[in-house]
């Protein structure tokens, strides 16, 4: 389980980088992403990986009981990834809120990745 969880965690970390790049690009150009051409397909791609990751991560946490990572954090990161995957395409998105969500999700993903790699 932990190898597939690690692969999914790495994929979500890649998505966080793509999301940040898209956000910066949209902020610079002030052009919204086309909903059906860009936003929806990307958000669905993220959701698919995120849903599988969330299930495995919760199972892993319940089995391993790591000291500094909890199920609530997994749920929070999951919600944040969903929001970020859509909000990145809209120039009116608040930079501060976006960056806070992005950093939070990335921190949880990185923490989980570190724990999995130590196993």
What digits encode the pLDDT tens for the residues 11-46? 999 999 999 999 999 999 999 999 999 999 999 999
Segment 56-111, tens digit of pLDDT: 999 999 999 999 999 999 999 999 999 999 999 999 999 999 999 999 999 999 99
Q: Which domain holds residue 19?
A: 2-118
Report the alpha-carbon distance of residue 43 to residue 97 in Å, rounded: 19
- pTM of the full structure: 0.95
Q: What confidence score (pLDDT) does residue 1 get?
A: 63
Could you give the number of structural domains in the chain? 1
CATH number, domain of 25, equals 1.20.120.440
DSSP summary character for residue 93: S
Q: What is the dihedral of CA 93, 99, 105, 106, to 10 degrees?
A: 130
Closest CA to 11 of 71, 61, 51: 51
């Amino acid at each position: 389980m932990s190898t597939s969880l690690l692969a999914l965690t790495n994929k979500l970390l890649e998505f966080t980088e793509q999301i940040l790049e898209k956000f910066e690009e949209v902020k610079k150009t002030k052009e919204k992403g086309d909903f059906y051409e860009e936003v929806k397909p990307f958000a669905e791609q993220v959701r698919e990986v995120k849903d599988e990751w969330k299930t495995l991560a919760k199972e892993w946490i319940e089995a391993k009981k790591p000291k500094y990572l909890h199920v609530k954090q997994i749920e929070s990161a999951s919600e944040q990834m969903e929001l970020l995957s859509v909000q990145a395409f809209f120039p009116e998105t608040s930079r501060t809120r976006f960056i806070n969500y992005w950093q939070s999700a990335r921190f949880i993903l990185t923490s989980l990745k570190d724990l999995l790699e130590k196993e």
